[in-house]
Amino acid sequence: MEARVDEIADRIYRISTYVPPEAVPPRGFTFNQFLVDGEEPLLYHTGMQSLFPAVSAAVDRLVGLDRLRWIAFSHVEADECGAMNAFLAACPRAGVIHGATGVNLSIADLADREPRIWEPGEVLEIGDHALRRRVLQFDTPHVPHNWEAQVLFEQETATLFSGDLGTQLGDPPALTDADLVDAAIEAEEAFRQTSSLTAYAVTLRQLAELSPRTVAIMHGASFHGDGGALLRRLADGYEQRFDDQVFAASTGTLTELVD
């Protein structure tokens, strides 16, 4: 299995593997990692253990495994961090960095190398005078799922690393300026991945205030354009499609499930 590599912003790369419909129905699914180049390169998502050979080969081609400095991800899940320890073993300089909730709940116990807590408001400077890279972390608990969920924002390129937010089915292009709202709602209908729809809409509107120019999405195409407007439309779309009445009608009551 080989990973496809595309540059979606200046020296920011999407590493993508497509899994066909027979493995992930109904239309297949992409698993995307993102590499931010700089003096201290950062990898957002590791992929599952099974993807480590392909993903690590792509990282090695782009920056060299011996240069990778930071490993980050949204939350603890196989496709987010399944290959975390494989990367730690292969990358002598690399360390895991995450918000305090993730480190204290799970990562300190799971990681083979002690992780670093990303303090609230801390800017991670991973570039140099020639290529500035300033990355911020934002906690998004239970959005789309898991208490420790987080997203990242690279200030110089205005790139939001949104994790599972904006997930789409199939194998779309690496980068698009097309509206992704309908595709994201279709994926939510298929997977029911979001823990708290109320918190989801609030969080999206807060992230929209960052005015991202690129939204790097873990599953599906990344978006380039007015990312703030996209996030607000997505919040509106979720509220309209997944209000309490629609959710109850689509999932059934407990009595109906027992019957």
Phi, psi dihedral angles at 252 (to 5 degrees) = 85, 160
User: Which residue segment(s) compose the domain that 129 sits in?
Assistant: 4-251
d(CA 50, CA 36): 22
Banded model confidence at residue 252, pLDDT cuts 50, 70, 90: low
Give me the helix-helix angle, 197-208 and 227-241, nearest 10°. 160
Strand arrangement of the beta sheet that strand 4-9 belongs to: 4-9, 12-19, 29-36, 42-44, 70-72, 95-98, 116-117
Banded model confidence at residue 130, pLDDT cuts 50, 70, 90: confident
pLDDT of residue 247: 46
Asked whether residue 220 is assigned to any structural domain, the reply reads yes
Asked whether residue 259 is assigned to any structural domain, the reply reads no
| Position 255 pLDDT exceeds 90 | no
Q: Which CATH number belongs to the domain containing residue 171 in this structure?
A: 3.60.15.10
Asked whether residue 129 is assigned to any structural domain, the reply reads yes
d(CA 177, CA 160): 15
CA-wise closest residue to 30 among 43, 42, 13, 47: 47
Banded model confidence at residue 256, pLDDT cuts 50, 70, 90: low
Structure tokens at 44: 């957002």
C-alpha of 188 from chain center? 15
The 3-state DSSP composition of the chain as helix, strand, coil percent (nearest 5) reads: 35, 25, 45
Asked whether residue 256 is assigned to any structural domain, the reply reads no
pLDDT of residue 196: 87
pLDDT of 26-52, one tens digit each?
999 999 999 999 999 999 999 999 999
d(CA 182, CA 155): 28
Banded model confidence at residue 94, pLDDT cuts 50, 70, 90: very high
Structure tokens at 136: 């911020």
Quote the number of domains for the chain: 1
pLDDT of 162-220, one tens digit each?
999 999 999 999 999 999 999 999 999 999 999 988 899 999 999 999 999 999 999 99
One-letter amino acid at 154 equals E
Asked whether residue 258 is assigned to any structural domain, the reply reads no
Please give the mean pLDDT across all residues of the chain. Answer: 93
